[in-house]
Chain A
Amino acid sequence: MMKTFNKKFAYWLFEDYKFTGHILGFYRIIYALVIIFVTGTIEFEVIAHAPSFFYNPNVSFASFFSAFPPFWVLRAISLSVIMLMVCLLFGYKTRLVSILIAILQVAGLSFFYAFGKINHNVAYWLIPFFMAFSGWGNYLSIDAKNKNGKQQAVSFWPVALVALSIGFMMFSAGFLKFAGGWLDIDSQAVKGQLFRNYSLEEKSNLLTDLLISINSNTFWEFSDYLIVLFEIAFLPAAFSSKIYRYFIFFAILFHIAVYLSFNISFALNPLMYLLFINRSVFDGILKKESINQINRFMNIRNFLIFLILFILLVIIPDYLLADSVKKLGLLPCLRGLFDIPGSIIQSIWWVICFIITMYAAWAGFKKHDAFEADAMKN
C-alpha cells in the first residue's frame, strides 16, 4: 500500500502537471506582461509617510523593525521589482531574477501590511518563487539564446506545488469559514458579508442591489454551504490535474461573481489559474512560426530598448504623478494621467478573463469530443 501511495505521489509531483517547455516560457511572458502593463506592482512607498502609531505588523519580516522604513528604501524596492519584471519578461538571468522578485515582494509587502491587515495578492511572490525552479526561463528567452539553442531541462514539480498552494489557500478559506460558523443553519453568512461590505465598506457593483433584495433563507444558506464545500474540496482536487482544471474553471466564475456582487477583485488570481486551464488555449498561439518570432524578439537589444521606453513612459510619469498612482505599471499610470475610474479597468480585465476561461472550456470540450470521435472510428 505504501508503495502504491509512493508511486501515486511521485506521479502527481513529477508527471501529472506536465506540459511543454514552450508553454512554460510563454506563461512567463504572459505573467510579466500582465503585471507590467495591466495590474502593475504595488508602490510600497505610499505608506512611508504613515504615522508611526499605525505600525503594528503581524509576524513577518517587518516585525523585526519598529517603524515604517524611509521613503527611499520603499521606493528602491518598488523600482527594483518592476525593473526585475522587465528582466523576467525577456527571460534574462531568469532564475536569479525570479527569486529576487519573490524576496523583494515579500519584504516590501511585509511593510505594506504593517498596519495589521494582510491582503492576499500571493501571485506577486508565490509564482516567481516556485517557478524559479521550473526552468521557465529556458524557453522563449534571452537565457535560451545564451545556451546556443540547446534544449534545456524543465521541471513540472513547481507547477504541482503552485496547484497545491492554491488548493491549500482555498481550503484555508473554507476551513476558516466553517470555523466561523458559516454552516450554522441560521447564519446566512454570505448575505451578512455582502451586506456588511455594502453598508460599512461602501462597496457595491452590478449585482449587489439585486442580491440584497433576495430574502430567501434557503437561497442564502445554500450559498453558504456551496462556498464552504467548494473551497474545502479544492485541496484534494489539486492532487489530480484533470479534476483541478474543473475547479479552476469554477474558481474564475466564482471570482467574477464575487467581483460583481462584493466589488472585491482578486485580479491577480486568474494569472495563477492560467497555469492550469486547458492547454489548447495556447495551441493556437504557439505555432512554429510564432515561436520563431518570439525567439527572434528576445534579444539584448530589444530588452534595452524596452527598458528605456518603460522608464520614459511609465517610471518618470509615475514619479511626476506621485500622489495619484498607487501601482507601478502602464495601465495604472494611464489611469493616473487621464483619471480613468479603476472600476472600468477592473471590469475590462474580468471580461477578458471570462472570455479566456470560456474559450478554454469550449476548446477543452471540443478536443474531448474530437478524441471521442477518433476513438469511435478506430
Chain B
Amino acid sequence: MRQSHRKETLKAIVAGYIVFLFLQLMFRLFVQEPFPAIVYPSFAGPLGDQKYYIIKKPVFITYTSQHDTLHIGRNKVLAEYPGSFRGDMMSRITSILNAFSGQQVDYLKRNKKSFRLGNWQYTITRKLKPDKISDSDKVKFKKWLKNRLSNIAGDDVKQCRLAWYKVYYSKSESSKKVKKELTNSLTVKF
C-alpha cells in the first residue's frame, strides 16, 4: 500500500518535472537562459544570405603616444578568459562603450526569432536583459581597457576605436573572403 502510494507520488512529481522542462524552455526562448537549466546551446541563426556567409568581427583600433595605429582582435584582448565567454564579453564591452558615447550599437543581441518552414514564418520578440552599468564601473572599465591595450601594443595607448565589421565570404567559392564593410564604431579617449 505504502509502496504504491510512493509510486503514485513519484509519477506526479515526474509529470510536474516534464511540465517544468517545457516552461524553462519557454523562458529561454522569450526571456533569457536561466541557470541551471535543462537546455543545450542552440547554435541558432543561419549566418548570411543566399550568396554569402556574413560574420561580424570586432577590432580594437588603437592609437598610441608614438602615433602608431594597431589593429587588435577580440581574442587577444580577452585572452585570459575562456574562448566561449568572449562573444558575451564583447557584447558587454559594446554596451559600456555605448554608455560613454550615447550611441546604441547592437552586437549579438538577437531579440527576434523567426520560425521558418518553407513560406511559413512566425516571429517572436524576446525581451532583452537590461544593461546596467554604474559610474564607478565606467571608470574601472576605462582604466582596464587602457592597461590591456597598452600591454598588447607595448606602448601607451591614447585612444581606441572599437570597429564592427561585417565580413562577407562567398558560399560558392570555397568560402573566399569577398568584402569587408564597416558597420559601426565607438571611440573612447583615455
Contacts and interface: CB of A to CB of B under 8 A. Distances in A.
A166 to B, nearest CB: 9
B55 A200 contact: yes
Interface stretch (B30-38, B64-72, B149-157): B30-38
Contacts of A9: 11
Interface stretch (A52-60, A72-80, A281-289): A52-60
Contact of B169 (A125, A172, A195): A195
> How large, as a class, is the contact surface on chain A?
35 or more
Nearest to B40: A173
A136 interface: no
Interface in B141-190: 141, 144, 167, 169, 171-175
Contact of A59 (B21, B29, B34, B115): B34
Contacts, number: 195
Nearest to A160: B14
A110 interface: yes
Interface of B is mostly: mixed
B140 interface: yes
Contact of B42 (A54, A57, A176, A187): A176
Nearest to B58: A200
Contact of A170 (B40, B50, B115, B174): B40
Given A180-B113, A187-B46, A215-B172, A161 B17 contact: yes
Interface of A is mostly: helix
B4 to A, nearest CB: 10
Contacts of B39: 120, 168-169, 172-173, 176
Contact of B48 (A6, A115, A182, A192): A192
Given A157-B10, A169-B38, A164 B89 contact: no
A181 interface: yes
A180 to B, nearest CB: 3
B46 A180 contact: yes
A165 B38 CA distance: 7
Interface centre among A57, A169, A192 (most CB of B within 10 A): A192
Interface centre among A117, A125, A175 (most CB of B within 10 A): A117
Interface string A121-149: 01001100000000000000000000000
Contact of A115 (B55, B56, B92, B174): B92
Contacts of A14: 7
Interface of B: 7, 10-11, 14, 17-18, 21, 25, 27-29, 31-50, 53, 55-57, 75, 81-89, 91-92, 96, 113-118, 124, 129, 131, 133, 137-138, 140-141, 144, 167, 169, 171-175
